[in-house]
Structure 1
Amino acid sequence: MEYVEVARAESEHGELVLRERRENGAPVILELRANGVFVMDTAEHTSERALATAALSLVDEPRDVLVGGMGLGFTMHEVLADTRVQRCTVVEIEEALVGWMRDGTIPHGPTMLADDRANPVVADVSVALPEADASSYDLVLLDVDNGPSFLVHESNARLYEKAFLAEVRRILRSGGALVIWSMDAADELQAAMEATFDAIEARPQPVRLQDRDEQYWLLIGRVDQENSAR
């Protein structure tokens, strides 16, 4: 197995690298790394599908969905597979990553973004979300890290604090939900969510990763019907 760099970009957030793992000279797996840390690859996207599927099951009418983090597009793709979804806004901090999705550097990217309901936005989700109108989304998925204990960027710590959670609640419609993907149960985050939402749940999520059985967590905050303000 050999590794071949496909694309590289530098930003104020650090280095982003897209590389292929090749076997006998043929591309096998596309891998994304940020500041030298593995983010995800095309070999295994069970977790992205699990996050989207579980989140969509929580809301009766997920017309408008916001996803924090583009990755390689698989969470967005799974969201758009649901015909109830009318718009999926994906907020991604790295402009280069969205560009690679658009121009085919990530081969499946143009097909995914060809869906008219896909709405990629280049921005820091901690900035973009507070700028959104109140009660404008039915579902918010945070997939920028592996939870507050496993950050891609240290600045992402603010996404798991009460001030940001309050902004998420503000933009959710009644009956809406926030779902956060986490590698652990994140007790402090659960406490902050409990102080913000009408109901919370920490749901264990088994995942098969690289031939290993792992347990991740879906941390869920719900807004009661007709009770979006608090």
Structure 2
Amino acid sequence: MGTKVSTIAFDADDTLWQNEAFFRLTQDRFADLLADFADPDHLADRLLAAERRNIGHYGFGVKGFTLSMIETAIEVTEEQVPASVIRELIAAGQEMLAHPIHLLPHAAETVIQLAEAHEILLITKGDLLDQERKLAQSGLGELFDGVHVVSNKTAQTYLTAFADTGPEAAVMVGNSLKSDVIPALEAGSWAVHVPHELTWAYEHADTPLAHSRFRKIPHLGALPGLVAEFEQM
């Protein structure tokens, strides 16, 4: 018999509910507003560069994204961006913060099923207030035994989150190889990759195919069966 899985942790954005799609829509709006100053591809590269620079200042989430859009708009217009455009970008960020939650397929039933016999955690990056809002609106909040909103995900993040049961008895589930999979494997837990059709370029990484504790599933509906397999290994 294998080690019993005691803890199952989920990423939030683009694992349990849609997120990146709203960022892409806002980025398209950003490109339209700045169309007279930069072509869309160049603007997207500049925005990504600003986001990378600013993560250490603002963290992950809508607020940092909005500030990076404003910074990029100032840069590409050589400080000539109209105040009306800045106002539109602020409004776009506010709309993102108020956007209703859309759960991904199988999210609710999978979390409900696994919560019957496991400790369930949410481990996510982003703005604390925004993630708390989304979790509350998702209808899943009461199923989680713990919620960790962190500035970044490292092996130490998972060692801390899984301290009670040990990482070898924990599973981390998420759409990001960089944040959800690789550091969880480094901590000694199982890591399950659930790809999303839209993934922010910052979260891209090589797939650790050779790692014995790495698995990939097409959707969350396959997770309960996989957890059962882990317990037989």
Same fold by TM-score, threshold 0.5 exceeded? no
Please, what TM-score do these two structures have when normalized by structure 1?
0.40
Please, what TM-score do these two structures have when normalized by structure 2?
0.40
Higher share in strand: 1
Higher RCO structure, 1 or 2 (CA under 8 Å, sep 6+):
2
Higher share in helix: 2
